[in-house]
Amino acid sequence: MDCNAGGDICRSFTPDRFPLEAQEITPLINTLDAQPTKCRNGLCIRRTGRQDFWNYTSATTPAPTGLQPGEVTLEELTKTGIGARYGQFTGAKLGDSTNPANPILADQSAGNQGGWYWIEIMPYSDAAKTKNLVVDTVASQLALSLDVYVIYRITALAYGRKPGTMVVLQETYARQRKKD
């Protein structure tokens, strides 16, 4: 994959990028926090309120009460420019229209089709301890060797072929610096 080819691949030419230095964290968090959905181009701030956002749709009955800022329906998160489509920023091959590599993930005909993902950017600091983001006990953080004190929670969702079916996977990732 050529990250210098332009476009969205590797986020080389997009306004929303992963923070590579500590001073890039706060501006990105502030930009994302200003969005009504708290997400843009598949990057999000740490989710508040209900963590299982895929279970809150426009058809949820009764509609949840006491929504917090950024708690929006799944339909809002699967709009262009909010969530990221499978392969959009990674360059993953979808095949072609007559022979897609994975027909379930490749289906981009509607917001409730295909594969989507969101990456929450969660600053990791002393403040993270008080919010219980990533700790090994109540009193101490996990010992991580990070260049940029950020942890990512990645949520991937794929709609199934049958109406109303989907799979959701979540993973937390901390890019660690290799010891010399």
Report yes or no: 85 and 159 within 8 Å, Cβ to Cβ: no
In this predicted structure, the answer to whether residue 154 has a pLDDT above a threshold of 80 is: yes
Confidence bin at 39 (pLDDT 50/70/90): very high
**Nearest CA to 84 among 57, 54, 119?**
119
Alpha-carbon gap, residue 154 to 86, rounded angstroms? 13
Half-sphere exposure of residue 34, counting CA atoms within 13 Å on the CB side?
A: 6
For residue 51, which amino acid is it? Answer: Q
Alpha-carbon gap, residue 44 to 53, rounded angstroms? 13
Report yes or no: 1 and 91 within 8 Å, Cβ to Cβ: yes
**Beta carbons within 10 angstroms of residue 155's beta carbon:** 22
**Beta carbons within 10 angstroms of residue 131's beta carbon:** 12
Q: pTM of the full predicted structure?
A: 0.80
Question: pLDDT tens digits, residue range 77-100?
Answer: 999 899 999 878 777 765 665 666
Question: pLDDT tens digits, residue range 49-73?
Answer: 888 889 998 888 888 888 887 789 9
